[in-house]
Amino acid sequence: MSREGSAVAVLARKVIEAQGPIPIAALMRLANTALPESYYRAQQPFGTQGDFVTAPEISQMFGEMLALALADQWQRMGAPASVDLVELGPGRGALMADVLRIWQRAAPSLLAAARVTLVEASERLRAEQKRALAAHADRLAWSDRLPGNGRPLFLIANEFFDALPVRQFVRTAEGWRERLVNWSEARGFHEVLGPVTRAMEEPEGDLWEHSAESMDWASRIGERLAADGGLALIVDYANRPGESSFRGIARHGKADPLVDLGAVDLSAGVDFPALTSEAGGQGAIAYGPVGQGSYLRALGIQTRHAQLAARATPGQRRELDAALERLTDAQAMGEEFRVLALTGPYNPPPAGFAAQEQTGSEEAPQCS
């Protein structure tokens, strides 16, 4: 059903009528988070009954591997007595629940050292996170920014950056022009090209995407890591230079991003080289990005799969097999999703990236 009468669409039309065509980034901001009726604040995007399923909800193995990678880094940093554990865009809390469960079992000293901050814009999702993480309520806080300096930062961002607004610039015979969104009674919302402008850089190809909000987050994360050390793990699907990655997702499939505003997830692929450059400019050290599949295998997901399968029913074993394939196979999420690690300048290389890294060492915590 068309939602051109929705609060999001009505406001977008009013803005366009008042000031002319708007950047794709402005439309994404309106559609995803700006209003109480926006997608992430009003819809239920996650799970089989929603519009997409994220890696933590596919299998506990995903969160367990990230939990162990963070714990391994903490141990090799000398087990600092107080740390900030931050998740950007925690969804329904599944990933954080797995991290805290593994730490409680395998690294209780780290759990005791952790102050948990969940960066979440949706009040509805905050309520779901509170329910999912009720056992750890005394250590949880919600915010719209990173906590202040002073403690090592351990951060996870799984499918967070892809939802941040992105601008698109197209190279034409006249020069670079921004791709904008217009509206008319006859055509509804539709794309148009703005006037000739100077690109902020000279990218290769005929299309360039830029997310100012992504760069701001990368800068702040890099600054914190440079000051206090730690590890940030960013997992997301990458853009392809020169190609448009702006898309809509609804009911587990592609959807027109300019139709049903507020009911469709608007996202864009992540520019990992740009994130690396921005965080590195603040002093952080980058590893990767590497494919999600190779990263999880390097952390030991196949061993964990075997542990779980050994005590599973035949039906559960089939589900575990399917989850492992979906998370790691190159034809599923294994290559489309990339993992970027950021550390402080004096921290050791993180598990899963350096050839000399020995994951599953005697000092590294194990899950059972």
Tens digit of each residue's pLDDT (9 = 90 or more) over 176-221: 999 999 999 999 999 999 998 876 666 767 899 999 999 999 999 9
Tell which CATH architecture fits domain 7-343: 3-Layer(aba) Sandwich (3.40)
Average the pLDDT over each of 121-125, 166-170, 228-232, 344-348 and give the range with the smallest value: 121-125
pLDDT, greater one: 208 or 50: 208
Alpha-carbon distance of 179 to 351, in angstroms, equals 40
Residue type, 125: L
- 158 strand-pairing partners: 235
* Closest listed residue to residue 103, CA positions, set 89, 92, 115: 115
pLDDT at 23: 96
Alpha-carbon distance of 312 to 318, in angstroms, equals 9
Burial code (b: 16+ CB inside 10 Å, e: under 16) for 155-185 equals: bbbbbbbbbbbbbbbbbeeeebbbbbbbbee
Q: Are 208 and 38 in contact (CB under 8 A)?
A: no
Structure tokens at 147: 């906590």
Alpha-carbon distance of 9 to 238, in angstroms, equals 28
pLDDT in tens, 243-259: 899 998 876 678 888 88
Structure tokens at 226: 């440079």
Helix and strand numbers, DSSP H then E, in the chain: 13, 15
pLDDT at 192: 95
Q: Is the pLDDT of residue 360 over 50?
A: no
Per the prediction, the chain carries an average pLDDT of 89
* Closest listed residue to residue 166, CA positions, set 180, 177, 176: 180
Q: Is the pLDDT of residue 363 over 50?
A: no
Alpha-carbon distance of 164 to 129, in angstroms, equals 21
What mean pLDDT comes out for the span 96-121?
96
pLDDT at 48: 52
Alpha-carbon distance of 117 to 140, in angstroms, equals 6
Average the pLDDT over each of 99-113, 168-182, 268-282 and give the range with the smallest value: 168-182
pLDDT band at 264 (very low <50, low <70, confident <90, very high): confident
pLDDT band at 33 (very low <50, low <70, confident <90, very high): confident
* Closest listed residue to residue 226, CA positions, set 151, 275, 282: 282
What values do phi and psi take at 266, rounded to 5? Answer: -100, 125
Burial class (CB in 10 A: 0-12, 13-18, 19+), 36: exposed
DSSP characters over 165-229: --EEEEEETTEEEEEEEEEETTTEEEEEEEEEE--SS--SSSEEEE-HHHHHHHHHHHHHHHHH-
pLDDT at 357: 36
Alpha-carbon distance of 92 to 44, in angstroms, equals 10
Q: Are 61 and 323 in contact (CB under 8 A)?
A: yes
Domain boundaries, the chain: 7-343
**What's the DSSP call for residue 41?**
H
pLDDT in tens, 116-167: 999 998 888 899 999 999 999 999 999 999 998 899 999 999 999 999 999 9
Q: Are 287 and 295 in contact (CB under 8 A)?
A: no
pLDDT at 8: 85
Q: Where are the alpha helices (DSSP H) in 43-170?
A: 55-58, 60-76, 94-106, 108-113, 123-132
Q: Are 61 and 26 in contact (CB under 8 A)?
A: no
Q: Is the pLDDT of residue 361 over 50?
A: no
DSSP characters over 343-359: E-TTSPPPTTT-TT--T
